[in-house]
Each structure stands twice: as C-alpha cells, then as structure tokens.
Structure 1
Amino acid sequence: MNRKTFRLVVFLAAISIGGILFIQIFWMDKAFDLSNKQFEHNVNLALLNVTSTLCEINQNEILPDPIEQLSSNYFIVNLNNKIAPELLETILKSEFQKREIAEDFEYGVFDCTNREMVYGRYINLKENTISTPASSTFPKLNKDAYYFGVYFPNKTSTLAGEMWIWGFSSLVLLVVVVFFGYTLMAIFRQKKLSEIQKDFINNMTHEFKTPISTIALSTDVLQSPEIINQPERLSQYAQIIKKEATRLQNQVDRVLQMATVEKNTISLTKQPFNINELIDQSIQSAQLNLTNGGQINFETKTPDATISADKVHLTNIIYNLLDNALKYNESIPKVDISTFSEKDKVTITVKDNGQGIEKKDLELIFKKFYRVHTGNLHDVKGFGLGLYYVKMIVEAHNGQISLESSPEGTTFTINLPKS
C-alpha cells in the first residue's frame, strides 16, 4: 500500500469513527431530553390532579394556569386557600404513585397570611420510609396567594441512571474507539519501522557495494601479468584490498554487534582508568581523518578523572562522537572536547561547528537506524547506528547523555558515574 492510499484509508476510518461518535452523542442527548420531557409531563399532570383535589376539598375554583415550572426540577402550584401540609403530602404521594413517579421529592407550603414558608417534608417514595424534614430551603417568591412548591433534588441523576443501556452502548463504543486508536498507532509504528528497515537496507547496500567494487577492481588489476614487473603498483593495490577488506569487516562487525546490543544485554568489563588518557588516544585516531586544516582541541579542568568503566566501549563512543563531528561538517571542522570531574561523576562535552541538527530530528537522533534525511545524497556513510550505540553504552554505565544543537554547531554532554 503506497503512502497516498494509506493516508486515504486512515482518513476514511477516522471519519467513520467520528461519525459514529457524533451519532451516539446525538441520540443520547435526544433520549435524555425525551425522558426529561416525559418526566415533566407526568409531574404536571399529577400536580394538576393534586390542585383539583385540594380545590374540591376547599370548595374553591381552580386558578387559570395554576402550575408554574421555575426550573427543570422545581414546580409551584398556586391556590386560593390555605393548605394543610399533612393533607398535601398524602395527596402528592397518591398522585405520584398513580403516575409511576418514584423520584424522591421535597415539598414546602407558603402561607400568605403570615407571609412565610411553612416547610414540608422530604419524601422517599422508592423505600416508602417515614418522611423527614426538608433538607433544602425553598426560595421565597413575591406572591400574595397561597402556593406550595415541589422540588426533585435527584432528578438528573435518576434520569441518567435509567439510561443504562445508552451508557453500556457508549462504553462499548469507547472500547472500539480505543482499540481503533491502538491499532492505528500500531500500524503507524509498523509503517515507520518498515521505512527505517528499508532505509537501513539501502544504506547497508550502498556501504557494502563500494568496498566490494574496489576489491573486485583491484583483484582484476592484480591478475594482470604485467603487475609482476611493477612491485610498487602491486604493493599499492594489495594495500587497497587490505584497507577495503578491513573497512568491510568493520561494517559487518558493527551490524552484528548492534543486532545484539540492548540496554539489558550489554556485557561490560569494568576497570579503573583515567578518562583523559582514553580521550587522548581517541583524538589521535580521529586526527587521521582530519583534512583542510581541521583541528580537535582537548581541555580538561580536572587532571585526575578516574572512573570505573568498560574501556573498549567508552573508546568506541568517544571515537563515534568525534567521527560524527568531523563527517557532518561542510566547513573546516573544529571540535572542542572537555572533561570536568566532580565528587561522584565525570562530565564529557564534545562541541563541533557543523551544520547542526534540526529540531524535528533531535528526539529521534538516538533511535536505532535513524539518520537525518539528506534526500538522495550519500556523501556521508553510515547505518544510523552510531548514536544509538553511544546512548546504549552510556545508559549501561548508569550515565546520561544529552545534546544541544543550533546552526552554529552541536554539543553532546555525557555524565558518567565514577564507580
């Protein structure tokens, strides 16, 4: 599947999931709204019957539009006469049970003679327990008539609980969305690994092809009968074959080594040594690759920087950092390396004047096989294993490595414990 088709499939899948989520939320909202309207309708009918019964007992006429809904869970009923709380409670219970309203409620009665609220009771219809004093304060309204109020404190939670089937379906849908997201992440990760693997194979092919071709050409020259009479030329081509064979062997060893190097499987042979001496040796090896007046400067702020570590691996990581500083440089290379020793650790910094690393590559620079994209250019050799190896070795020694980069250059900082 090419990149364009893959993106189209991912886009359509995301649109489908988004559409399902929208429909689910839409119908949940509609269902809740319908349940709410049904509840309010039943309450209005029940309160209308309560009003009719009270007016019939008091021999009063029903006021026009006696029921007012002040909020989604608070209703008041206007009357022309006094209201007996005990009688009101009995009638309210009866009418609510007829309408199958099992929601807990509170009621309060306003007496316009004393202009005060006579509080009623909190009633639990589900458990049919003894009524208790009202737990909430009913607001005092600017009215001259008698009225009583009915308040449903748990209305929203009760209606939501009755929609359990919608909650279950939403949970199932959420699981599907999470699974889809995880699958999508796995696909992206697998695709990225596939691209990295492809780049690695291309780089490896390019790296191996050059020394093999050089060896093949040198062998053809050595097979020529005239080469026996030219000892200097014979020695020159023999050295070329040896150099390219060594280079090829080093590449193979690096690939085989990195295939098994992981943080928890690295075998370290630790011994005490002065890190400054090791850096001096690495600089001498790296200076063989210096051209065009490049230079490597070494400064130590602590002459005695003895640590206990694997000398071979640390030599490799110092050389890798120096080699990268020289390779990835379009101008005259200048590398500054320094060490600083503290009580329990040694700090090593390697600073170059190269082109720097872009911000988008900084988080990936230590990944296995990752190389900064340079288009189709192959002027800098490598498999993308060097910095991965450096990070693994540093962490295997319980150390830390960090970097800072700008267009003026890159600085690597390594902190290693002394013991």
Structure 2
Amino acid sequence: MSNTTLRNLVVGAALALLSLTLVQFYWLSRAFDIKSTQIEQRLQVILWHTAQELARSQSCMLASENPIYKVSNNYYLVSFNCEINPDILEYALGKAFQQEGLPLDFEYGIYDCDTDQMQYGKYVRQGSQTELPQNKPFDAYLEGHSYYFGVRFPTLETELIAEMEVWYYSVFLFFIVISFFAYSFYLLLRQRRFSLAQKQFLDNMLHEFKTPVSILHLTAQVLSKEVTTARANTYVRIVGEQSAKLEHHMNYLLEHLMLENKIEKALQKEVLDVGLFLKELVARYQVLLRLMPMQGEATLDLHLCPQVCLVEADRLHLENALTNLLDNAYKYQQQEQGWVAVRLEAGAKFVQLSVQDRGQGIPQKALAYIFQPFFRVQKADCHERKGFGLGLSYVKQVVRAHRWQIKVQSSLENGTTFFIKIPLYTK
C-alpha cells in the first residue's frame, strides 16, 4: 500500500467517523426535541382538562379560549374567572394526570389577589423521584388577571432523560464501536510502521554487507589461483564457498524486497495450456529430485484432466510459485520416501491446481500466518530446515497479482495440500 493510498484511507476513514458522529448527535437531538414536544403537548392537554374540570366543579367560565400560558419548559400558568379552591385544583390535576397516563411529579401555587402574590400550594408525588426538591417561589405573574394558578414540574427533565434511555444506550454502544474501530486502525498503522522499519533495516543491512561479501568472494577466487599448499587451498576454497553462499542468500533477500508489492506491475501475461505447462514443469523438477539429498526415493506424481485448459498467466512467476510449493513439500517430508502429487482439475469457469504432500503438516493456529513474510512454523527442527520464510509469501503475491484464489488444508502428521483457483481464459 502506497503512502498516498494510506493517506487517502486515513482521511476517508476520519471523515466517515466524523460524519457518523454528527449524524448520531443530530438524530439524538431530533429525538430529544420530538420527545420534549410530545411531553409538552401532553402537559397542555392535562392542564386544559384540569381547567375544564375546575370550571365545571366551581360553576364558572374559563378566562379565555386558551387560558394556558407557558412560562418555561417546566412551568405553566392557567388563568381563571373566579376564586380557585386548592382541594378541587389538586383533585383535578391528579385526575387529569391519571387519564393521560403521565406519572410526573408536580407542585402548584395559587395567586392571592389580596396579597398580590403567588401562594405555594403543595408538592404532589407521582413519579419515581425519591427526594423532594426544595420549594421555589412562583415568581411569574399574569398581568390583567385576578384569578390564576401555576403548575411546575420539577422532575420533567429527569423523566425526559429516563424516557430517552434507549437512545443514550445506542449512542454509548455506537461510541464503543467507534473506539474499537479507531483502536484497530491505530494498530494497523503501527504494524505498517513496524513493517516498513523492518523492510528498511533489511534493505540497508543487505546493501551494507553486499560490497564486503563480494570483495571477500573475489579475494578468495584470486587466492585460489596463487596458493600452493593443499592446506591453504582448502581454507581458501571454504572461504570462497561460504562467501558465495552468503552472497546468494543476500541477493535472494534483495530480490524479494524489490519484488514485494510490485509483481502486479511487472506481470507479462500470456495464454498458457496449463496441462502442457505442468508436464514441462514436473519433468524439469524430476531431474532436480535426483540431486536432492533425500533419505529414500522421491516421487512426484502428476494427475491431469483430459481436456485442454487455457489460462492467462505470467509463465515465469507461475513456474516460480509452483516450484516454491514443491520445494516446501519435499523439504518437510517426514517419511523415508518423499511423495508429492500435482493435480489439475477443470470446472465450468475455473481450473484448480493442487500440490499435495504427506509431510509433517501445519498446525491449525499457524495456517493464518504462513503467507506472511519471514514466518516459519516453530518446531524443534525449524533451524535445520534451510530458508527465510519467504517462499509462501512470494506464492501469495503471485496469486494476488493475478487475482486468483489460494487456500490450504493441512493436518499434523498427515500432510498439506495447497489449492490455486484460476479462471479459464475466454476470448
């Protein structure tokens, strides 16, 4: 992944998270406003029924068509045309609340025209409030009205928040999900920085060692022509062989680092008869098997489908990928005679290549990591097996560059099978 792609991904993810957060807050605010409006409408209905019941009980008329005045969100005044009986008012309020089904605590006050002040009435408990709030003066007045009462709802905000409980839980869960996503993204970026630092370190180290090793190898070649004693010649030969081996390993690592994430751009695809291709590959590999230091006879079986199967692929990279699979199959054989089978199966739109062995197998917990660079299954003899853990990583890169599919099945002591699914070529 290039820096530009990563930067665009980070910016896009940040904008997406910000947009989701704003949308969540918007809908939470909308839900709160809607719930507040609904409760306000219910309170208006309750006070209207209370005023009607009070007028009917005291045989007087309402002061106007709409006698209800909103002072604040939790405080209302209701005008009247005659003196107000506190007992009848409390009864009417309780009855109206019961009919509406709104268990909300309230307190009321009645205007005293003799003292020109609001007289506190009573706090009526209906909801779940456990502590009585402190009495506050009814400090709002209706100019031009001689008879009116005020009703305040001290627990209105608490009850409103309680009814919004489901929304608050959803917001809480949303932020938990966002937090996990952000933390995962942070881990991804940290892992990428670590991978880049690892790659840069290997690249710098290999380039620093390449020149001294090359000079050492050339020096050994020159000395091999000038030494005269057998003992000195043996030492020079050992130095030359080991320096050549080290140089080969360094070149292999450098080649892998250069090819990483660049195979797709370097592909030179052509139409291949995959059956004929496998015949040629197996024939060449069988020659190499005779030179391998196996304990017994190495066997390589080839099973092809009868029909001709054409695929579009890079011949060089496909051959290298299959060779890596064959190398691993024989490297980890545990029987005296190594056996590997290569199969080609054809379907309606795809062909499937498989490489099967009867080796040690791979633990299930390690299958998810075998295609990572430098990963090797930790076993007692892992250091006896030569390699850097780059073969399967290369295979995965080749498959991904061609947009194919690869999967693996393995069980301990029973061997491993790799499957590569390739689409058939269509003109």
* TM-score between both structures, scaled by the size of structure 2: 0.52
Aligned-partner Cα distance in 1 for 2:254–2:206: 13
Matched position secondary structure for 1:321: helix
Superposed CA deviations along residues 330-368 of structure 1, whole A, max 9, x for unmatched, are 66573422223426543221122344334344334334x
Other-structure match for 1:268: 268
Aligned-partner Cα distance in 2 for 1:306–1:39: 75
Other-structure match for 2:329: 325
Q: Which amino acid aligns with 1:256?
A: M
Task: Give 1:188 deviation, angstroms.
Answer: 0.3
Q: Does 1:374 align with 2:378?
A: yes
Aligned-partner Cα distance in 1 for 2:422–2:389: 24
Other-structure match for 1:81: none
Other-structure match for 1:338: 342
Aligned-partner Cα distance in 1 for 2:321–2:272: 17
Task: Give 1:224 deviation, angstroms.
Answer: 8.3
Other-structure match for 1:50: 52
Aligned-partner Cα distance in 2 for 1:58–1:318: 100
State whether residues 358 and 415 of structure 2, in contact with CA within 8 Å, keep that contact through their aligned partners in structure 1: yes
Q: Which amino acid aligns with 1:279?
A: V
Aligned-partner Cα distance in 2 for 1:329–1:199: 31
Q: Does 1:387 align with 2:392?
A: yes
Task: Please list, as runs of the form range in 1=range in 2, the aligned pairs for 1:10-409 lying within 5 A after superposition.
Answer: 43-57=45-59, 66-67=95-96, 69=98, 72=101, 180-197=179-196, 216=216, 223=223, 227-230=227-230, 233=234, 238=240, 241-258=243-260, 260-261=262-263, 263=264, 265-273=265-273, 274=276, 275-285=278-288, 288-293=291-296, 295-302=298-305, 307-308=310-311, 309-328=313-332, 334-342=338-346, 345-367=350-372, 369=373, 371-372=375-376, 374=378, 378-407=383-412, 408-409=414-415
1:211 to 1:353, Cα distance in 2 relative to 1, 3 A: farther
1:361 to 1:279, Cα distance in 2 relative to 1, 3 A: same
Q: Which amino acid aligns with 2:49?
A: L
Q: Which runs of 5+ in 2 are unaligned?
A: 1-24, 62-86, 105-159
Q: Which amino acid aligns with 2:324?
A: N
User: Which shows bigger deviation, 373-382 or 200-209?
Assistant: 200-209
1:342 to 1:31, Cα distance in 2 relative to 1, 3 A: closer
Aligned-partner Cα distance in 1 for 2:193–2:383: 20
Superposed CA deviations along residues 282-334 of structure 1, whole A, max 9, x for unmatched, are 34336644433363431314366554432211110111111222344566573
Matched position secondary structure for 1:228: coil
State whether residues 282 and 315 of structure 1, in contact with CA within 8 Å, keep that contact through their aligned partners in structure 2: no
* TM-score between both structures, scaled by the size of structure 1: 0.53
Other-structure match for 1:127: none
Other-structure match for 1:117: none
Aligned-partner Cα distance in 2 for 1:266–1:312: 11
Q: Which runs of 5+ in 1 are unaligned?
A: 1-23, 76-158
Other-structure match for 2:136: none
Matched position secondary structure for 2:260: helix
1:66 to 1:360, Cα distance in 2 relative to 1, 3 A: same
Aligned-partner Cα distance in 2 for 1:209–1:225: 25
Task: Give 1:402 deviation, angstroms.
Answer: 1.3
Q: Root-mean-square deviation (CA), in Å?
A: 5.3
Aligned-partner Cα distance in 1 for 2:326–2:180: 42
State whether residues 407 and 419 of structure 2, in contact with CA within 8 Å, keep that contact through their aligned partners in structure 1: yes
Task: Give 1:193 deviation, angstroms.
Answer: 2.7
User: Which shows bigger deviation, 187-196 or 66-75?
Assistant: 66-75
1:382 to 1:179, Cα distance in 2 relative to 1, 3 A: farther
